[in-house]
Structure 1
Amino acid sequence: MLSSSSRRILITGANGFVGRYVIESLVAAGYGIDNIVCLVHNASQNDDAPGLSVTGDISNREQVFGLIESIRPAAVIHLAAVALPAEARRDTQTAWRTNVDGTIALADALLRHAPSARLVFAGSAEVYGQSFNTCPLPIQEDAPLRPMTTYGASKAAAEIAIMQKARQGLNAICFRAFNHTGPGQPADYVIPSFARQVASIEADQTDPVLKVGNLDAYRDFLDVRDVANAYVRAIAEDVDTGPEPVFNISSGTSRRIGEILDALIARSKVDIRTEIDPGRLRPSEVERAAGDNKRAATRLDWEPAVPFDDTLQAVLEFWRERV
């Protein structure tokens, strides 16, 4: 494990939803908080970042090169991205500049100034896109990349760039994380959206009507803590990534969105009825998604550990405390 006091771990996008869990996982694994460097986008976020915090724009090559040269990290967990698909769709230029150009800048800086550092890239299962409709499920890592969204396309492009640079000597691992949730995830995502509405109804802040969109899609969900643990596991020195260092991070199980909603409503302290909101009703081009996680289990000794029921309860309690 890269746990000696002289080794620094850089986390880009450290103040995002997943970042706080990665920091917790690093500390739990024995990494010193003073050796964790957090790259945040806005100076106002510095006060909230543990360890050493620096402000910078991941898509600014000069800033990225200067940062890597100054800290020379032992490993980088690259989380910084325009991660909300709807936001990426609205501002494609920023999404591509951040998700692709920023990743390339980071890879190039590591090759020049910290060539032995391991880069952990937080990619997405959205890179599979149309392949979910044509390949056997749960999908394996050798399935074609056929993204259908701006976010998925930008993540696929970044991953391809990393794999090309790996052939030039970049020490990289790419993850394709499936849907993950937990306390602190913004309510723009489906499970916290449901949970926040349940909590608001319980607090008598809104009518006992929960607004929903498409409930018939099936998705592969897991706990954010399991995802964070996978990223931290990937910087261990004993990890053998094999010839193709690309890994699904998934539960391997498809869950119907409507069943997840039913499970949250069942936990409610009041009676709740649901109502279709036309503004939330978007047709799904992918009916079912699930990822095969055997490669991660075999090579990284990783598998999901948090029961999904515990995840749902934790998300609901998070929103109950805040409404």
Structure 2
Amino acid sequence: MTAVRQAAGGGTGPHGLRGLRVLVLGGSGFLGGRAARSLALAGADVTSVSRGGGPPQAPGGPQVTAVRLDLAAMGPRMLRDFLAGQAPAVVVNAVGQVWGGEGNMADLNDRLVADLVATLPARTRLVQLGSSLEYGPVTGPAPVHETRRAAPDTVYARTKLRGTEHVLRASRDGRLDGAVLRVANVSGPGAPGLLGSVARWIAERSAEQPPPGGHVLRLGPLLAARDFVDVRDVGDAVVRAVAARPGRIRGRVVNIGGGRAVPVDRLVDRLLELSGLPVRREAAGGAGGSPRSSAAWQQLDIDRARRLLGWVPRHALDQSLRDMLAAPDPARGHDGVTGPQNPYRLEESK
């Protein structure tokens, strides 16, 4: 793709994206917002598109143009006209429906991607943010490589996989220069999900006088071991995928994770320990975990990311947890379309 090749020689940073026009769909979300900010820091001319507009922007830092648009309500013709007016060299799709009915998930995780693939100009670079949950349940202990046959077991994972397949087919047919970054569980400042919920619970309790004997946090059973990656490392992976030379990652799935399986139970205990809050954890009745996947164990093989993108995770998990405690509140919704919902039961007794 000519635009990417030209930009690669003219930037000021290590990725050379100065002036490259990048459209980030879902740019007000947790992952999309980080992708937009990382691209802007690398010198790209970034436009964020979502119902929420754009990510929070620091005074004096690189700015991201925000466009408020309901992507879920757009058909192929409206989408084509919008893209033609924007004329991006690269599109990053961070839109995704995490919660809600099957129809809503299909609209955004599947049909929107199909429309996007069908309407983008030929050979446009498209970086799709996928999910490691697309692999489905894994028993371990071998790391999950990109060649593993995906067998998703939930509506969310199945619809995300269909989005992935749209991108891969168009790329392998030569219509697009597209790739999928298959992202593990994400930690770091403002993270959603269980760890983010615990971090926010800690922040709320820290502002209170502890009761006699300390606070008590009740959670359902935490039996899973998952791969976690810091959101800032995901942003770096997006920048590298955007900057990759033409054809290098076309038609590829690239795992983006920490490269190790960590017991979720241990991470919750570590958050509590790092907080210094007088609190003990007790088991609550009912099942704990996310309705998005029943996968009890997952560790991604991240060698392809290293070989093709020169990417490795740079934020240690312990530091990621510390930073999560320092900034526990997500600035926007998780996926750029809907805000996060908490499927976990966080209870306190005094």
CA distance in 2 between partners of 1:51 and 1:243 (Å): 26
State which drifts further: 197-206 or 216-225: 197-206
Counterpart of 2:12 in structure 1 is none
Greater RCO (CA < 8 Å, at least 6 residues apart): 2
Following superposition of structure 1 onto structure 2, how do residues 158-173 of structure 1 map, counting pairs within 5 Å?
A: 158-166=163-171, 167-173=173-179
Q: Name structure 1 gaps, 5 residues minimum.
A: none
CA distance in 1 between partners of 2:165 and 2:329 (Å): 41
CA separation of 1:288 and 1:239: change in aligned 2, threshold 3 A: farther
Which of the residues 152, 176, 180 maps onto 2:182?
176
Letter in 2 for 1:69: A
CA distance in 2 between partners of 1:269 and 1:72 (Å): 50
- Say whether residues 1:104 and 2:114 are aligned partners: yes
Following superposition of structure 1 onto structure 2, how do residues 218-297 of structure 1 map, counting pairs within 5 Å?
A: 218-238=225-245, 241=248, 244-278=251-285, 281-282=288-289, 285-297=294-306
Higher helix share: 1
Letter in 1 for 2:68: T
- Say whether residues 1:153 and 2:158 are aligned partners: yes
Counterpart of 1:53 in structure 2 is 66
Counterpart of 2:309 in structure 1 is 300
* Pairwise CA distance, 1:281: 2.5
CA deviation profile, 1:281-312 (whole Å, cap 9, x unmatched): 25973221110000110011111011111110
Counterpart of 1:196 in structure 2 is 200
Counterpart of 2:85 in structure 1 is 70
* Pairwise CA distance, 1:107: 1.1
Letter in 2 for 1:288: W
* Length-normalised TM-score, structure 2: 0.80
Q: Percent identity of the aligned residues?
A: 27
CA separation of 1:235 and 1:46: change in aligned 2, threshold 3 A: closer
CA distance in 2 between partners of 1:317 and 1:4 (Å): 32
Counterpart of 1:81 in structure 2 is 96
- Say whether residues 1:185 and 2:176 are aligned partners: no
CA distance in 2 between partners of 1:51 and 1:268 (Å): 33
CA separation of 1:298 and 1:63: change in aligned 2, threshold 3 A: same
- How many residues are aligned here? 304
Letter in 2 for 1:142: T
RMSD: 2.5
CA contact (8 A) 2:190 2:329 kept: no
CA distance in 2 between partners of 1:144 and 1:201 (Å): 44
Q: Name structure 2 gaps, 5 residues minimum.
A: 1-7, 9-15, 58-62, 332-350
- Say whether residues 1:8 and 2:21 are aligned partners: yes
Letter in 2 for 1:75: V
Counterpart of 2:31 in structure 1 is 18
Counterpart of 2:222 in structure 1 is 215
* Pairwise CA distance, 1:275: 2.1
CA deviation profile, 1:20-63 (whole Å, cap 9, x unmatched): 211221122222xxx21111125xx4696753322323342232
CA separation of 1:268 and 1:321: change in aligned 2, threshold 3 A: farther
CA contact (8 A) 2:135 2:149 kept: yes
CA distance in 1 between partners of 2:39 and 2:46 (Å): 8
CA contact (8 A) 1:177 1:248 kept: yes
